[in-house]
Amino acid sequence: MATDMTLLWGSGSPPCWRIMIALEEKSLRGYTQKLLSFDKAEHKSQEVLDVNPRGQLPSFKHGNNILNESYAACMYLESQFKSQGTKLIPDSAAEQALMYQHMFEGLALYQKIGDVIYYNWKVPEGERHESALKRNREALTAELRLWEGYLQKLGTGSCLAGNSFSMVDVVVFPSVAYLFRFGLSAERYPKLAAYYGLLKDRPSIKASWPPNWLENPQGQDTLKDI
């Protein structure tokens, strides 16, 4: 039982989801968790600020060790619980190279998704320009084509670093799920859709599926024309 761990999280947040998948994969259950509401600005509460001065979720603690960066928390969990649950860092140099490469590219993917989906939230009303949003949409399209190519090269039924599920899948899958939640076309991006289909029912992913998505299965169509 992971009773010395606490996770403050928000539903539907890909960074929070990454840590929850890693915890499941490492068989770390029974941790203290608190679901907070972004709508009620609970991520700016003193409870969060005490752990995470950025006032962001996830905020994660293991004993006295604080890890508020989702990638850092996932890597830490693998390192501390190496022999428990799924081995998330492959031994083979070729798979490790792919894993690290795609993990960090996953940050660019996540950033570009946010630049489109949250354009209005990020840019104050008077500073918004159709041309800037168009550029962001084009940048996301180019990024998604790269991922289609990577998955094509990996082959049908492959995870992102090869046949085995690894850390790159822990951190990138939530972004891919987000894409489809926001209406990405499975016809236009068949490899990403197949990857999504391959992993969406994996026990660690199912167990941590965002509760607000379960309550409201209808997503949005923001990305339908990307």
Ligand X SMILES: N[C@@H](CCC(=O)N[C@@H](CS)C(=O)NCC(=O)O)C(=O)O
Note the residues at the interface with ligand X (CB under 6 A).
Answer: 10, 13, 15, 43, 55-58, 69-70
Residue 110 CB, shortest distance to ligand X, in Å, is: 8
User: Smaller CB distance to ligand X: residue 162 or 174?
Assistant: 174
CA–CA separation, 150 vs 152, rounded Å?
5
Contacts 24+ apart (CB under 8 A), 213-220: 213/11, 213/12, 213/181, 219/180, 219/181, 219/182, 219/183, 220/181, 220/182, 220/183
35, 100, 160, 174, 192 from 95: Cα distances, Å: 35, 9, 9, 21, 19
Between 43 and 191, CB nearer to ligand X: 43
Question: Taking the complex as a whole, how short is the minimal distance between the CB of residue 149 and ligand X, in angstroms?
Answer: 25
Smallest separation, CB 69 to ligand X (Å): 5
Q: Which is nearer to ligand X, 42 or 148 (CB)?
A: 42
CB of 194 to ligand X, least distance (A): 26
Supply the minimum distance, in Å, between the C-beta of residue 109 and ligand X: 13
Q: Which is nearer to ligand X, 124 or 157 (CB)?
A: 124
Task: Please say which residue, 43 or 61, places its beta carbon nearer to ligand X.
Answer: 43
Alpha carbons 185 and 192: distance in angstroms, whole number: 10
Burial class (CB in 10 A: 0-12, 13-18, 19+), 219: middle
User: Is the separation of the CB atoms in 73 and 79 below 8 Å?
Assistant: no
